[in-house]
Amino acid sequence: MKQKEVLLEVKDLSVSFFNKTGEVQAVRGINYTLHKGEVLGIVGESGSGKSVSSHAILRLTPDSGKVKSGEILFEGKDILKMSKKEIRELRGNRIAMIFQDPMTSLDPLFTVEYQMNESLKKHTNLDAAARKKRIIELLEMVGINQPERRAKQYPYEFSGGMRQRVMIAIALSCDPQLLIADEPTTALDVTIQAQIIDLLKELKDKLGMAIIFITHDLGVVSDICDKIIVMYAGKIVESGEKRRIFYQQQHPYTKGLLASVPDVDSDVSEKLKPIKGNPPDMSTLKPGCAFAPRCNCAMQICVREEPPLMEMEEEHEAACWELLKDEVNK
């Protein structure tokens, strides 16, 4: 296998939110590497820090939040140390983003053409006519019929799926090297979900960009991702190549997530298998493994000390004391 070029390196990233009651540690020291053209899935429940960690890549953390520590190296340069101007050059140009709710992600008072033109005007040297041509091309590429007519319409004249296609067209307008897709299918109907995933897959093969795909739906990641990171309570609990996560998962939380996905072939009378309990309150985290209170195989050490991420085999890591049971018991 040829050596892949590193595109993005996230090192020891921590993000916290501050409110009247104190600090909420949304992301607690995560590390990962993304290579060019790779698709990384970040999976976790609501509040696991998956969106927060990805918004930090574009420095889109809301005002109440703060990146406490870490480095985000994009092609070797630390995004967190960039000036506002440099970061704006990056946004929408080299790194683009699409969001969860296409119904609210476009400005209702401007035409689709205007909103697409904005980023082209900022990031490219194309003249007005060339930009217009590019807009039509992009809309065609994301599967919007009659692009000339549709470009002049307002967001309210598009359905949810169509709006997400417009969002994708905007994101891809300047040929980004990295696309961050923050739950892009969550707000859509199942059939539309599949269409959007297929579109992203197709465009990824065509344009060769890397994608960070954030979702809570394992079915979605299985379709599109090369690598998967499972997050729980602001930490990575397991990460690895897609097949390893699906067939040789080690962390009890990953096991629980996979077990909770309903199987089409299973008996209808079979009940869903949820993971019992709730995610922890991130403002009052106790020492030890954050998943321990919900874990079936929790040991004494699990409530005392936090397990480190351990490499199981090449490109497969998990953070669980169970994996070191023999040594722990010694």
Partner 1 sequence: MHTSRYIVKRIILAAVSLFAIITLTFFLMNLMPGDPFMSEKATEENRAILIAKYGLDQPVYVQYGKYLINLFQGDMGTSYVLQKGRAVKDIIFESFAVSMQLGLKALVVALICGIVLGCISGLCKDKLPDNIIRVFSSLGISMPGYVVASGLMIVLAVNLGILPVTYNKPGGEIMPIITLALYPTSYLTRLTRASILEVMNQDYLRTERAKGMSEFVVVFIHALKNSLIPVITYLGPLTASILTGGFVAESVFNVPGLGRYFVTSISSRDYTMIMGVTIFYSALIVVMNLVCDILYKVVDPRITLD
Q: Is 97 in the site for partner 1 (CB under 8 A)?
A: yes
CA atoms within 13 A on the CB side of 67: 23
Q: Is 86 in the site for partner 1 (CB under 8 A)?
A: no
Query: 90 or 302, CB closer to partner 1?
Result: 90
284: number of Cβ within 10 Å = 9
Calculated CA dihedral for residues 141, 148, 153, 144, nearest 10 degrees: -30
Q: Contacts with partner 1: how many residues (CB under 8 A)?
A: 27
Q: Is 118 in the site for partner 1 (CB under 8 A)?
A: yes
Task: Report the distance separating Cα 142 and Cα 169, nearest Å.
Answer: 6
Residue 226 in contact with residue 40, Cβ under 8 Å? yes
- Member of 64, 104, 159, 300 binding partner 1 (CB under 8 A): 104
In angstroms, what is the minimal distance from the CB of 229 to partner 1? 21
In angstroms, what is the minimal distance from the CB of 106 to partner 1? 6
- Member of 170, 199, 214, 225 binding partner 1 (CB under 8 A): 170
Q: Is 90 in the site for partner 1 (CB under 8 A)?
A: yes
Residue 324 in contact with residue 318, Cβ under 8 Å? no
Please list every residue from 300 through 329 that binds partner 1, using CB under 8 A. none
- Member of 88, 132, 201, 216 binding partner 1 (CB under 8 A): 88
Q: Is 9 in the site for partner 1 (CB under 8 A)?
A: no
Please list every residue from 38 through 67 that binds partner 1, using CB under 8 A. 58, 60
- Member of 17, 32, 74, 99 binding partner 1 (CB under 8 A): 99
What's the distance, CA 42 to chain centroid?
Answer: 5
The CA-CA-CA angle for residues 182, 187, 191, to 5°, reads 110
With contacts defined by CB under 8 A, name the span among 13-21, 100-108, 199-207, 232-240 that binds partner 1: 100-108
Structure tokens, 177 = 């090297």
Residue 326 in contact with residue 316, Cβ under 8 Å? no
User: How many residues in total does the chain contain?
Assistant: 330
Q: Is 141 in the site for partner 1 (CB under 8 A)?
A: no
Query: 43 or 167, CB closer to partner 1?
Result: 167
Residue 166 in contact with residue 155, Cβ under 8 Å? yes
Q: Is 74 in the site for partner 1 (CB under 8 A)?
A: no
Task: Report the distance separating Cα 38 and Cα 284, nearest Å.
Answer: 36
Q: Is 119 in the site for partner 1 (CB under 8 A)?
A: yes
At 96 the three-state DSSP class reads strand
> Which positions touch partner 1 (CB under 8 A)?
58, 60, 88-93, 96-97, 99, 101, 104-110, 118-119, 122-123, 154, 156, 167, 170
